[in-house]
Structure 1
Amino acid sequence: MWWVMGVLAVAAVLSAYLAWTAHRVERVHVRAASAGRALDAHLLRRAAAAAVVAENTDFVELYAAARLALDAEPDEREAAENDLTRQLRTVRLTGADPASRTLVATSRRVVLARQVHTDLVRDALTARRRPLVRLLRMARHYERPRYFEIVEPDLPEPLTVTPRPAPEPPVPVST
């Protein structure tokens, strides 16, 4: 009778481990897909901000690269974003106008979103390579995540903002 309890205990532990592993595989794939969508949104914002800056400065090449990045198909997206990054490197932003500040901010968000996406794709691919996951085909329901290879943009130094002086305290009026 004790061996039946032992077999049930081993089966319970094994099923709990398999459920945990399957949930982990699902979770990292969902997070990688979510990070991919966030990166895509930040890239679209950067391209739109670049188009606005290009319109304000009459820089035709930058505008064309921004439009190509906005209109690119998924398989052409990396090349279009790399071209936009190269065009952005040729533009010197002063930070005087709100459009250039928006472009700098969105470029910084792209760098961060790409880093997060890369980390999550690496985690998902690592989970897929585990022998138990491959043996039981736990990742078959999820699309294989892909890295998004783009050139890191050269970001200008943080824009300096001079603080306003503190207001003078009111002078008491004597009567």
Structure 2
Amino acid sequence: MWWVVGAVVLAAIFSAYLGWTAQRVERVHARAQSAERALDAHLLRRAAAAAVVAEQSDAIELYAAARLALDAEPDERESAENDLTRQLHGIVLNPADPAARTLIGSSRRVVLARQVHTDLVRDALTARRRKLVRVLRLPGRYPMPRYFDIVEPIMPALPMPVPVPAVPPETPLPVL
């Protein structure tokens, strides 16, 4: 009789482990898909900001690269974004211009979104490589996540605001 109880306990532990593993695989895949959508949104914002800067500065090549990045198909997206990044490296931005500040900020967000996306894709691929996950086909409904390889869009740093020293109030002159 004790072996029946032991078998039931082992089956319960194994099924709990399977449930936890399936939930983990589903969660990392869902997070990887969310990170991919966020990266796509930040790339679109950067391309739109680059188009605005290109229109203001009459940079034809930059405008063409921005339009190609905005209109690119999913399989052409990496090369279009790399072309846009190369064009952005060749321009000089005025940090006082609001459009340039928007472009710099969106480029920094692209870097962060790409790092998050890369980390989550790595986690999802690691979860998929586990033997039990492959045997039971747990990530069945999720497509294989892919890395998004682009050149790092490094933009110039924005100047830090200089604090204005507090000026003591003027003391009134005594009336004589």
RMSD over aligned Cα atoms: 1.6
Matched with 1:85 is 85
Distance (Å, rounded) in 2 between the aligned partners of 1:167 and 1:49? 39
**TM-score between both structures, scaled by the size of structure 1:** 0.94
Distance (Å, rounded) in 2 between the aligned partners of 1:108 and 1:60? 23
The alignment-based identity, stated in percent, is: 70
SS of 1:83's partner is helix
Distance (Å, rounded) in 1 between the aligned partners of 2:72 and 2:166? 49
Matched with 2:40 is 40
Distance (Å, rounded) in 2 between the aligned partners of 1:106 and 1:165? 31
* Greater mean alpha carbon deviation, residues 81-90 or residues 148-157: 148-157
* Counterpart code for 2:72: A
* Counterpart code for 1:34: S
* 1:163 Cα offset (Å): 2.9
* Counterpart code for 1:29: H
User: Are 2:57 and 1:57 equivalent residues in the alignment?
Assistant: yes
Matched with 1:121 is 121
* 1:153 Cα offset (Å): 1.6
* Counterpart code for 1:74: P
- 5+ residue gaps, structure 1, are none
Alignment of 1:69-108 (within 5 A): 69-108=69-108
User: Are 2:47 and 1:30 equivalent residues in the alignment?
Assistant: no
Distance (Å, rounded) in 2 between the aligned partners of 1:101 and 1:11? 59
1:56-79 Cα shifts (integer Å, max 9, x gaps): 111111111111111111111101
- 5+ residue gaps, structure 2, are none
Q: How many residues are treated as equivalent by the alignment?
A: 175
**TM-score between both structures, scaled by the size of structure 2:** 0.93
* Counterpart code for 1:105: G
Matched with 1:163 is 163
Conserved 8 A contact 2:108-2:154: no
* Aligned CA distance change for structure 1 residues 59 and 9 (closer, same or farther; 3 Å): same
